[in-house]
A and B are shown apart, each in its own frame.
Chain A
Amino acid sequence: MSQRFTGYAVRLQHQENHVTMARKRLAMELGMGTDLQGQDYTKAAVRALKDALWHNSLTIAPALGYPREAMEVDVEIGVAQPNKVDKAVVAAVLPYGRAQVSVVLGGLDIPNEDGTKVTVIANAAAVVYLDIQEAN
C-alpha cells in the first residue's frame, strides 16, 4: 500500500516538474567590418561581428528571468571568399552563449586602382534565440 502511494506521489511530482520549452527568436544584431590592407576575411568577419554585438547591450535574457549563458546565437557572415573565414575564431568573439557560425557568399571586395589587392568588407548578423518555458 505504502509502496503504491509513494509511486503515485513521485509520478505527480514528475508531472509538475515537467516543463516544455520552445526555442524563440528574440533579437537580431547587425554589423559591418573591414580589413583594409591584409585581405584577411576572418579579421573582417570578426570586426563585423564585434560591430554587431557592441552596438547593443542585450539584456533580454535576464529580463525574462533566464541566464544570459542560455542564449543561442546564430552568427551569419557574408564575405566574398567564404572559405577563407576561420569559423572558430569568429565564434570565439561571443563573450557568452552558444554560437553557431555560418559563412555565405556576400560582403564586398573592392579592388584597388591597379587591381593587385582588394579591400574586404564583411557583413554580420547575430540572431539570438532562447528556450522559453511553455505554459502546461
Chain B
Amino acid sequence: MPLKRIILEMGTGNDLYGEDYTKACKRAVQDALHHSSLTLFRSLGLERDAMVVDVTVAVQQPDQVDIEEIAAQIPFGTVNVKAVFGGLNVVDDEAGTVSVIASAGVAAKLDLPDGPFVLPKTL
C-alpha cells in the first residue's frame, strides 16, 4: 500500500535571547503539533504507531540543532528529522542580541489502500 500524507502541520518557535537553535526548533514543532489533533486513529481503528512522521525544521544555523531532541517531541510513529537552512535571525546591533526564529513542518503519513477506505466490520 502506498504511504499517503494525511496532514501537514506547521508551526513557528523562537529563542529570543539564548541563541539556542534546538530550543527554537522544539518550540516550533510543539506549535505545529498543538494546533490540531488527529482523531481518526481512534475513530477508524488505525494504529498510531503505523504513522510515519517527517519533521523538517528550518533555522539559520541548522548544524546547531540537536536532531535527537527534536525527534523526541513526536509522541507516536516512526520519526525522521531534517534540519535545513531557513527561519530568521533578528539581530539587535545596539543591544548585541540575536533572536532565533525557527519554522517547522510536520508531515504525518499512513499506509492506506487506493480507492475509498472501508471501515472494518468490528467498528
Q: Identify the A interface with B (CB < 8 A).
A: 22, 24-31, 51-52, 55-60, 63-66, 132-135
Contact B8–A31 (Cβ < 8 Å): no
Most chain A CB inside 10 Å of its own CB: which residue of B37, B117, B123: B117
Q: Which residue of B lies closest to A21 (CB)?
A: B119
**Alpha-carbon gap, A64 to B114, bound state (A):** 8
**Alpha-carbon gap, A26 to B115, bound state (A):** 18
Q: Is B110 an interface residue (CB 8 A)?
A: yes
**Alpha-carbon gap, A66 to B40, bound state (A):** 14
19 A-B residue pairs with CB within 8 Å: A25-B39, A26-B38, A26-B44, A27-B40, A30-B36, A55-B32, A56-B9, A56-B35, A56-B36, A57-B8, A59-B8, A60-B6, A60-B7, A65-B116, A65-B117, A66-B116, A132-B117, A133-B119, A135-B121
**Alpha-carbon gap, A30 to B34, bound state (A):** 8
Contact B39–A27 (Cβ < 8 Å): yes
**Alpha-carbon gap, A51 to B36, bound state (A):** 11
Contact B118–A134 (Cβ < 8 Å): yes
**Alpha-carbon gap, A24 to B117, bound state (A):** 12
Cβ–Cβ < 8 Å partners of B48 in chain A:
none
Give chain B interface residues in 81-100, CB to chain A under 8 Å: none
Contact B35–A29 (Cβ < 8 Å): yes
**Alpha-carbon gap, A66 to B115, bound state (A):** 8
